[in-house]
Structure 1
Amino acid sequence: MTDFSARRTLMVDTQVRPSDVTKFPIIDAMLSVKREDFVPAALREAAYMGENLALGGGRVVLEPRTLAKMLDALDIGNDELVLDIGAAIGYSAAVIAHMAQAVVALEEDEDMAHEAMDALMSAGMDNVITQAGPLHAGAAEHGPYDVIVIEGGVSHVPVAILDQLKDGGRMACVFMDGALGEVRIGYKLDGRVSWRRAFNAGAPVLAGFEKHDAFTL
């Protein structure tokens, strides 16, 4: 029988801590949340690998290092509302729920959204709302949000998403340029979001977050 508890500790000790992630709430959450319960059954044995887990259709569960460093840069407080875009089966939402006041987990694949709801309920995460809907549209009815996290690559962030971030809020995205990517943290002030580079990472670009080339005559 697989000792997932030992794998979880090993993940934190070999992937998270060496990446300069030291904030206790993040370490505690990643030691507590059973990642194997938030991936498809066929991927349970691979749940703690140090790479993105492919879900099919260009979707992934971000590698633990990337998620941990995103959360470290965002420094989520226990009085904050977070929108988790592309939540898949709910792992990221479960981790974020340990540090936020409440999380809205947005997933456009209805089957994964239902699985996320079940997994989060089984894990006792009663401060997470799971919502099915297009990722690029966000979840305006529950916003605005103190923090927005996008669980996948982007070439651009739709205005609809930027509009759902509170003034003074921040967001994290993996910006992709071909095969290369970097996580940037966006800070909203006076209605405008300014981006700062955080670290290198990669993920497939989500549908609806592609860069639209301008038409030329």
Structure 2
Amino acid sequence: MNVEQARFNMIEQQIRPWDVLDPDVLQLLSLVRREEFVPAALRHLAFTDTELPLKAGRTLLQPKVEARLLQELHLQPSDRVLELGTGGGYLTALMAHQAGHVLSLEPDPELAEAAQARLRRLGLTRAQVQVAALLGGAPSQGPFDAIVLTGSVAEVPAALLAQLKPGGRLVAVVGHEPVMQAVMLRQAGSAEPARTELFDTVIARLPGAVEPSAFAF
């Protein structure tokens, strides 16, 4: 396989048609080697338009979804970012190139250790992976300019919104199969967060996500 041609095709045939047009994001996708974040046995599939299995039901998101999430975050060099669900660490690495610091939480110790080793090997010292449950976030290390969830939730917990700085933004995929939507919630002080609908997609649930009761009383 011609790896660089496959990377080019991924960007031009999958990602750019999904309205990922930010030149800085597109350049990053060319530079950060996605295949290094994919299990060795699946590296021949690193550039395909599909989720890839990691372990125990966890997956690596489609390239176009990760690229779109990155674009929508509009990260700045001074931003402190909280990522919920490191997985393979590819999105973590992309964000570490743009933000001032990325704290990524991962509940699976094996995935966390492997991702941190990859980031260290690539010299991405602005990213830190911690083993932790996800939905509580990291209140003692906040507040954050941006928060991103790499798995879907039925609704965004208020505890996460409370960890945003004023004007900070949270990007998550919310809803239930077969209808989910990526949304941005922007912290507006004491008022309800401003909500922007971004794009439709379906991704696996965030580990630990709680489903609302189906019963009504």
Fold conserved (TM > 0.5)?
yes
Contact preservation (8 Å) 2:177, 2:202: no
Partners of 1:16 and 1:176 lie apart in 2 by 23
Partners of 2:134 and 2:91 lie apart in 1 by 15
Report the TM-score when normalising by structure 2.
0.92
Contact preservation (8 Å) 1:61, 1:151: no
**What secondary structure is seen at the aligned counterpart in 2 of 1:9?**
helix
- 1:56 to partner: Cα distance: 3.9
- 1:216 to partner: Cα distance: 5.0
Runs of 4+ in 1 over 3 A off after TM superposition: 214-217
Contact preservation (8 Å) 2:83, 2:105: yes
Contact preservation (8 Å) 1:58, 1:205: no
When the two chains are superposed, the root-mean-square deviation of aligned CA atoms in Å is 1.7
- Match in the other structure for 1:205: 205
- Match in the other structure for 2:65: 66
Identity of aligned residues (%): 33
- 1:22 to partner: Cα distance: 1.6
- 1:54 to partner: Cα distance: 2.5
- Match in the other structure for 1:107: 106
- Match in the other structure for 1:96: 95
Report the TM-score when normalising by structure 1.
0.92
Partners of 2:35 and 2:141 lie apart in 1 by 29
- 1:42 to partner: Cα distance: 2.2
Unmatched segments (≥5 aa) in structure 2: none
- 1:210 to partner: Cα distance: 3.0
Cα separation, partners in 2 of 1:159 and 1:49, compared to 1, 3 Å: same
Contact preservation (8 Å) 1:157, 1:209: no
**What secondary structure is seen at the aligned counterpart in 1 of 2:94?**
helix
- 1:215 to partner: Cα distance: 6.3
Cα separation, partners in 2 of 1:40 and 1:141, compared to 1, 3 Å: farther
Q: Which has the higher strand share?
A: 1
Matches within 5 A, 1:172-191: 172-191=171-190
Unmatched segments (≥5 aa) in structure 1: none
Partners of 2:174 and 2:138 lie apart in 1 by 21
Partners of 2:215 and 2:162 lie apart in 1 by 25
- 1:129 to partner: Cα distance: 0.9
Partners of 2:5 and 2:116 lie apart in 1 by 26
- Match in the other structure for 1:14: 13
Range moving further from structure 2, 147-156 or 34-43: 34-43
Partners of 1:7 and 1:142 lie apart in 2 by 39
